[in-house]
Amino acid sequence: EDQVTQSPEALRLQEGESSSLNCSYTVSGLRGLFWYRQDPGKGPEFLFTLYSAGEEKEKERLKATLTKKESFLHITAPKPEDSATYLCAVRETSGSRLTFGEGTQLTVNP
């Protein structure tokens, strides 16, 4: 059974204070690891897909990396508008479904 664990559950940063969110996963074969951003009361917004260990993707202040057991979402010099819940999900090679972690709630204070 696929498992996805995100840490920390909540993270509070000052504006400009860089940090990383962690996503640990267990799958029989990884077809893709996905990062989403979710604002309160909204649907998740797609950020990145990573397919193989060593892969990296960047978008503005966000950078996602992948190893064989975990993924990190690095946030460089965050701004208050980066405050949201960040969700990680995996899709295994034999399936059509995504399995989600419980998310990290990020708050960036001005």
Partner 1 sequence: DGGITQSPKYLFRKEGQNVTLSCEQNLNHDAMYWYRQDPGQGLRLIYYSQIVNDFQKGDIAEGYSVSREKKESFPLTVTSAQKNPTAFYLCASRDSQGRNTIYFGEGSWLTVV
Question: Distance (Å, rounded) from C-alpha 45 to C-alpha 68?
Answer: 24
Is 5:24 a contact under the CB 8 Å cutoff? yes
Q: Looking at 34, 71, 92, 106, which residue binds partner 1 (CB under 8 A)? A: 34
Query: Residue 107 is inside which H or E element, if any?
Result: strand 104-109
Q: How far is the CB of 24 from partner 1 (least distance, A)?
A: 14
Q: Does 37 bind partner 1 (CB under 8 A)?
A: no
Q: Does 43 bind partner 1 (CB under 8 A)?
A: yes
Question: Distance (Å, rounded) from C-alpha 74 to C-alpha 5?
Answer: 17
Q: 56-95: which residues touch partner 1 (CB under 8 A)?
A: 87, 89, 91
Q: Looking at 13, 19, 31, 76, which residue binds partner 1 (CB under 8 A)? A: 31
Q: Does 45 bind partner 1 (CB under 8 A)?
A: yes
Chain-centre distance for alpha carbon 87: 5
Residues belonging to the chain: 110
> By the criterion CB under 8 A, which residues form the site for partner 1?
4, 31-32, 34, 36, 41-46, 49, 87, 89, 91, 96-103, 105
